[in-house]
Structure 1
Amino acid sequence: MSDIQSILSTAKRTLEIESKAIGNLIGQLDEQFALAVQYILESKGRVVVSGVGKSAIVASKIVATLNSTGTPAIFMHAADAIHGDLGTIQENDIVICLSKSGNTPEIKALLPLIKIGKNKLIGITGNLDSVLAKQADFVLNTYVEKEACPNNLAPTTSTSAQMAMGDALAICLLELRGFTSSDFAKYHPGGALGKKLYLRVADIVVNNQKPQVDVNSNVKEVIVEISEKMLGVTAVIENGKVVGVVTDGDIRRMLSKYDNINGLTAKDIMTSSPKSVDVDTLAVTALELLQEKGISQLLAFDNGAYAGVVHIHNLINEGIL
């Protein structure tokens, strides 16, 4: 069996090497980066990102990040480009080429074809003396001292640096576009992430029953309402307005406090000033309030009118929690 400490030591060394390399990128940023961002921002075309080998995989990830943050992008494998896929690049498109050495044969073959099309070229490379760096309109320096691989061969640190540079590009563009969480939701409508960005309390309460009792309802009526509506709570209404709530917990406290519950009404056992949210509130915000207050339900209101109940189980079922 391998020595646990030896494994952890190797893992820590790898992360230290890569984190140092990414930290060094800060000092390698210059005006070229800012100019590249501005050009992409003002462009009427897409961003075509290309590379070979591990750089191609990183290029695909950068494309995904750009697309999800408001910058139209498409991936083009450099090898495929010189064998028929060059038509991927359209007028006004900006091309980003990734290559650690900047002298990869496929990249070298692709560069003059990009120039013929008069598309602007952004080079992401760790070699400023390379063909890519010399032919690019903008050069983003991703130089790393060494790979995390002990043989200094397997692309590890270099691809981490490329990935980080791509993220820096995407986030700069995101902020300059004023890209909001609402915009983000349009690109991520599915899954828990999407629901956190667009699901509102109104979308939940409409599917729940709407428990309510009169302020003078007796205890039995209160218990029956809570039980039938299955939300562990009921609103207490007086003159058409909510004046309190009775929860399962209130019922338990009542039974502990009173030996005789005959004659008790909702008003006697309710909690005044119940915690509530507006129906337009994001569901994730409602969840934060539930967690902050240590409660399971919130009353929902629509323009001041009682609209129903949102329960923490609703949020669990939606995958938000």
Structure 2
Amino acid sequence: MQDEQQILSVARRTVEIEQKAIKGLLDSLDSAFAKAVQHVHLSKGRVIITGIGKSAIIAQKIVATLNSTGTPAVFMHAADAIHGDLGNIQRDDVVICISKSGTTPEIKVLVPLIKNFENKLIAITSNKDSFLGQEADFILYAPIEEEACPNGLAPTTSTTAQLVIGDAFAICLLELKGFTDQDFARYHPGGALGKRLYLRVSDLTAINARPQVHKLSTLREVIINISENRLGMTVVTENEKVIGIITDGDLRRMLTTNKDIDSLTAKDIMTSGPKTIDNDAMAVEAREILEEYNITQLVALEDDKYAGVVHIHDLIREGIV
């Protein structure tokens, strides 16, 4: 059995080989890459990405990246393409074919069919002089010296290079489209990343209780209000204006420092000037304030009037924290 140092040596060698390949991509980026990006940007159709074996898996990832950054893309397996899936390709679509060697049997069958459809063909390949390289309208060159696999068989370095080229391609398109964080949120409404970009405080206060007492409310009324609304606090208001906040902690401190509690009112035990946030602010802004002041709830205001409460648990539930 190999010891830890032998294992780490193999791991580091793998990283170094792939790192060298990625660095080599800097010199492979040329006019053909730029023209391919421009062509896709101006195209009225989608991007169809195809490949075989491990290249097909990379193709699926690039498709996902393009779709999430505003460029419509579809994956088409090279083997399935010649058995009916060619119907995916529409008139204005651009096809990207990924193949390290550019000479696999499936690619040799598929490429002429794509050319017959008169769709523009972009190749991501490590062999410019291959069948695929010769037939492509644009070559995104992904040169590698060796696979990380010691036998030189398992696609490792080559697929890493393909993936990086695909990411570079997608980000160039993103920049050309002027794709913004708001656009990203529209394409990722269900994930934590998207929520950070579109979720507002009002979305959270709308589903929370709205605890509230008057400044002259009795201690009993304050305790009942906090208990009923289950947020561990209540807001003290006067004419819908927030003048203070009372938390569970305030109640405990009050009990230890006051002997005569029967005459106490909300105004006597509240904390004045509580931290507030605009009800229309982004939820991520609420998180930043909670973290900065090490508190668990914020009072939300709308037109300077009490609108509700946002609690740290709301942000945790939504994946904002």
The corresponding residue for 2:44 is 44
The corresponding residue for 1:302 is 302
The corresponding residue for 1:72 is 72
The corresponding residue for 1:289 is 289
Distance in 2 (alpha carbons) for counterparts of 1:2 and 1:284: 47
Q: Which amino acid counterpart does residue 169 of structure 2 have in structure 1? A: L
CA displacement at 1:185 relative to structure 2: 2.5
Q: Which amino acid counterpart does residue 40 of structure 1 have in structure 2? A: V
With normalisation by structure 2, the TM-score equals: 0.92
The corresponding residue for 2:31 is 31
The corresponding residue for 1:9 is 9
Q: Which amino acid counterpart does residue 13 of structure 2 have in structure 1? A: R
CA displacement at 1:302 relative to structure 2: 2.4
Task: Tell me the SS of whatever aligns to 1:208.
Answer: coil
The corresponding residue for 1:56 is 56
Which stretch has the larger CA shift, 105-114 or 92-101? 105-114
The corresponding residue for 1:93 is 93
Distance in 2 (alpha carbons) for counterparts of 1:272 and 1:96: 63
Task: Tell me the SS of whatever aligns to 1:234.
Answer: strand
The corresponding residue for 1:210 is 210
Q: Are residue 279 (structure 1) and residue 292 (structure 2) matched? A: no
Task: Tell me the SS of whatever aligns to 2:123.
Answer: strand
Which stretch has the larger CA shift, 274-283 or 251-260? 251-260
1:175-254 alignment, distance < 5 Å: 175-254=175-254
Q: Are residue 154 (structure 1) and residue 158 (structure 2) matched? A: no
Distance 1:186 1:240, change over 3 A: closer
Distance in 2 (alpha carbons) for counterparts of 1:178 and 1:317: 32
The corresponding residue for 1:164 is 164
Map Cα deviations across residues 33-79 of structure 1 (whole Å, 9 max, x no partner). 12111111110001010111110111111111111111111111222
CA displacement at 1:154 relative to structure 2: 0.5
Distance in 2 (alpha carbons) for counterparts of 1:273 and 1:176: 47
Q: Which amino acid counterpart does residue 300 of structure 2 have in structure 1? A: A
CA displacement at 1:7 relative to structure 2: 2.1
Q: Which amino acid counterpart does residue 266 of structure 2 have in structure 1? A: A
Note the aligned Cα RMSD (angstroms): 1.9
CA displacement at 1:2 relative to structure 2: 4.4
Task: Tell me the SS of whatever aligns to 1:59.
Answer: helix
The corresponding residue for 1:121 is 121
Distance in 1 (alpha carbons) for counterparts of 2:256 and 2:170: 59
Distance in 2 (alpha carbons) for counterparts of 1:320 and 1:93: 38
Map Cα deviations across residues 78-106 of structure 1 (whole Å, 9 max, x no partner). 22223332222111110101111122222
CA displacement at 1:9 relative to structure 2: 2.4
Distance in 1 (alpha carbons) for counterparts of 2:288 and 2:119: 48
- Aligned pair count reads 321
CA displacement at 1:17 relative to structure 2: 1.9
Q: Which amino acid counterpart does residue 48 of structure 2 have in structure 1? A: V
Distance in 2 (alpha carbons) for counterparts of 1:20 and 1:235: 60
User: Is the Cα contact below 8 Å between 2:241 and 2:304 reproduced in 1?
Assistant: no
Task: Tell me the SS of whatever aligns to 2:208.
Answer: coil
Q: Which amino acid counterpart does residue 123 of structure 1 have in structure 2? A: A
Q: Which amino acid counterpart does residue 9 of structure 1 have in structure 2? A: S
User: Is the Cα contact below 8 Å between 2:240 and 2:306 reproduced in 1?
Assistant: no
Q: Which amino acid counterpart does residue 84 of structure 1 have in structure 2? A: G
Q: Percent identity?
A: 64
Which stretch has the larger CA shift, 186-195 or 239-248? 186-195
Distance in 2 (alpha carbons) for counterparts of 1:256 and 1:181: 50
Q: What stretches of structure 2 of length at least 5 have no aligned partner?
A: none
Map Cα deviations across residues 94-133 of structure 1 (whole Å, 9 max, x no partner). 0101111122222122222222222111111111222222
Distance 1:181 1:167, change over 3 A: same
Task: Tell me the SS of whatever aligns to 2:281.
Answer: coil
Distance in 2 (alpha carbons) for counterparts of 1:45 and 1:54: 26
Distance in 1 (alpha carbons) for counterparts of 2:50 and 2:289: 45
Q: What stretches of structure 1 of length at least 5 have no aligned partner?
A: none
Which stretch has the larger CA shift, 11-20 or 261-270? 261-270
Q: Which amino acid counterpart does residue 138 of structure 2 have in structure 1? A: F
CA displacement at 1:209 relative to structure 2: 1.1
CA displacement at 1:259 relative to structure 2: 4.0
Distance 1:19 1:289, change over 3 A: farther
